């Protein structure tokens, strides 16, 4: 990973909040959007351009040379004049999107100074009403990132975008995303986005889930049986390996789509057959995600309607431990990002002390 700005703003915002920021701030000041690859920065800027009724011109910083910004010199009346590129030198206002701005060289960054600060290139001035937006990845994203000068950073308004599963699901339902993908992210919203790995391998982002959706639709998945080897290939080609394995288990479980709900209602049992190990793993992970989502953080917030679910959840964990102790441990174990509420873990320790024994 190349050295670059490891900018971590104390506040992150979702797509809806970013659009609001752009509508109110970008019209008066250049905005820089920080965020991981595939999180939806480009798509949101295009949506913003549509909202304000302006064409969007995108430049990719990692592929620019200084002359792509300042233009080339020509002699006019015995003096040299720089003629800016046609793509930039427009007569009507537009949105200029400088994508991967922090991936370009220092010389290209210098070429951007007057464009961002004074809204001009040489003698050419951007039409009144034009808007400048920059975007880039962070140093921890294992992307092509170079250090931005303090002068360039100080000329822009900075925001950091995060993946928001609820907003993505809402968008996906109106964007013809494959129903398997939508249903899976509804069940596992934590799998919408994964940090870039240290090794060179696919990883889950809103963009990669969109790619998987496109592939599934091309193969007609859902309308005819897709070859299992092809399905594995396209899933592992797009997603974090652990997420890919879970998604494949989900597709295998399609015939028992409501199995987890049936188990919670005590109308079905955890699958115990060895050949159903992947389904059991998927169900256990989905059950953990449901616990994280629905259990209140404080015991005082437990409603009367929640008591039956809590009682059943403890019973399900006990039943799961009798089938596969490791999966039961995984269901209640804390990880780097999330942990079940302390009060619930006290209940588990009391009933199943071995399950949380760290020795």
Pairing of strands 79-83, 72-76: antiparallel
Q: Is residue 275 part of a domain?
A: yes
Q: Please tell me the distance from the alpha carbon of residue 158 to that of residue 261, in angstroms, as a whole number.
A: 43
Q: Are residues 128 and 175 in the same domain?
A: no
Q: Is residue 77 part of a domain?
A: yes
Q: How many domains does the chain have?
A: 2
**Residue 211: what pLDDT?**
96
Tell me how far CA of residue 126 lies from CA of 48, 95, 238, 260, 346, in angstroms: 19, 10, 40, 57, 63
Q: Are residues 32 and 155 in the same domain?
A: yes
**Residue 109: what pLDDT?**
80
Q: Are residues 66 and 184 in the same domain?
A: no
Q: Is residue 325 part of a domain?
A: yes
Q: Are residues 284 and 200 in the same domain?
A: yes
**Residue 127: what pLDDT?**
92
Q: Are residues 41 and 69 in the same domain?
A: yes
**Residue 153: what pLDDT?**
85
Q: Are residues 286 and 177 in the same domain?
A: yes
Q: Is residue 5 part of a domain?
A: no
Q: Are residues 173 and 257 in the same domain?
A: yes
pTM over 0.85: no
Q: Is residue 3 part of a domain?
A: no
Instruction: State the residue for tokens 């950091």.
Output: 160
Q: Are residues 224 and 336 in the same domain?
A: yes
Assign 221 to helix, strand or coil.
strand
Q: Are residues 152 and 183 in the same domain?
A: no
**Residue 18: what pLDDT?**
94
Each residue's pLDDT, cut to its tens digit, for the chain (359 residues) gives 345 555 667 889 999 999 999 999 999 999 999 988 888 899 999 999 999 999 999 988 777 777 777 766 677 777 766 677 777 888 899 999 988 888 777 777 877 888 888 888 877 888 999 999 999 887 666 656 667 778 788 889 999 999 899 999 999 998 999 999 999 999 899 999 988 888 889 999 999 999 999 999 998 866 457 888 999 999 999 999 999 999 998 888 776 778 899 999 999 999 999 888 888 988 998 899 899 989 999 988 988 889 999 999 999 999 999 999 999 998 988 777 788 999 999 988 888 888 766 54
| Residue 136 structural domain | 15-162
Q: Is residue 178 part of a domain?
A: yes
**Residue 157: what pLDDT?**
93
Count of helix runs (H) and strand runs (E) in the chain: 15, 9
**Residue 150: what pLDDT?**
81
**Residue 335: what pLDDT?**
77
Which residue among 102, 129, 162 closes a domain? 162
Q: Are residues 259 and 122 in the same domain?
A: no
The dihedrals phi and psi of 267, each to the nearest 5 degrees, come to -100, 0
**Residue 359: what pLDDT?**
44
Q: Are residues 173 and 132 in the same domain?
A: no
**Residue 144: what pLDDT?**
60
Q: Is residue 239 part of a domain?
A: yes
């Amino acid at each position: 990973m190349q050295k670059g700005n490891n900018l971590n703003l104390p506040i992150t915002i979702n797509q809806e909040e970013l659009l609001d920021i752009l509508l109110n701030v970008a019209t008066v000041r250049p905005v820089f959007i920080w965020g991981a690859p595939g999180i939806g920065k480009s798509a949101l800027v295009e949506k913003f351009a549509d909202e304000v009724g302006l064409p969007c011109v995108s430049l990719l910083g990692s592929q620019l040379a200084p002359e792509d910004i300042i233009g080339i010199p020509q002699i006019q009346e015995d003096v040299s004049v720089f003629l800016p590129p046609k793509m930039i030198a427009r007569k009507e206002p537009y949105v200029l999107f400088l994508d991967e701005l922090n991936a370009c060289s220092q010389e290209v960054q210098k070429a951007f100074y007057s464009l961002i600060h004074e809204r001009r290139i040489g003698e050419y001035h951007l039409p009144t009403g034009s808007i400048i937006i920059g975007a880039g990845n962070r140093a921890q994203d294992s992307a092509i990132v170079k250090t931005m000068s303090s002068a360039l950073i100080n000329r822009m308004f900075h925001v950091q975008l995060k993946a928001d599963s609820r907003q993505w699901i809402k968008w996906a339902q109106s964007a013809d995303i494959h129903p398997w993908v939508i249903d899976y992210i509804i069940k596992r919203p934590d799998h919408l986005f994964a940090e870039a790995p240290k090794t060179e391998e696919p990883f889950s982002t809103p963009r990669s889930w969109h790619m998987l959706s496109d592939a599934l639709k091309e193969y007609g998945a859902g309308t005819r049986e897709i070859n299992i080897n092809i399905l594995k290939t396209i899933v592992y080609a797009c997603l974090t390996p652990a997420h890919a394995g879970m998604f494949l288990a989900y597709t295998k479980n399609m015939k028992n789509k409501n199995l987890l709900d049936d188990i919670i209602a005590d109308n079905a049992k955890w699958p115990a057959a060895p050949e159903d190990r992947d389904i059991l793993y998927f169900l256990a992970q989905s059950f953990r995600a449901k616990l994280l989502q629905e259990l209140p953080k404080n015991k005082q917030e437990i409603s009367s309607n929640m008591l039956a679910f809590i009682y059943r959840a403890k019973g399900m964990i006990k039943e799961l431990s009798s089938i596969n102790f490791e999966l039961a441990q995984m269901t209640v174990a804390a990880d780097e990002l999330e942990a079940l509420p302390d009060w619930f873990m006290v209940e588990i320790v009391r009933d199943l002390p071995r399950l949380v024994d760290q020795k």
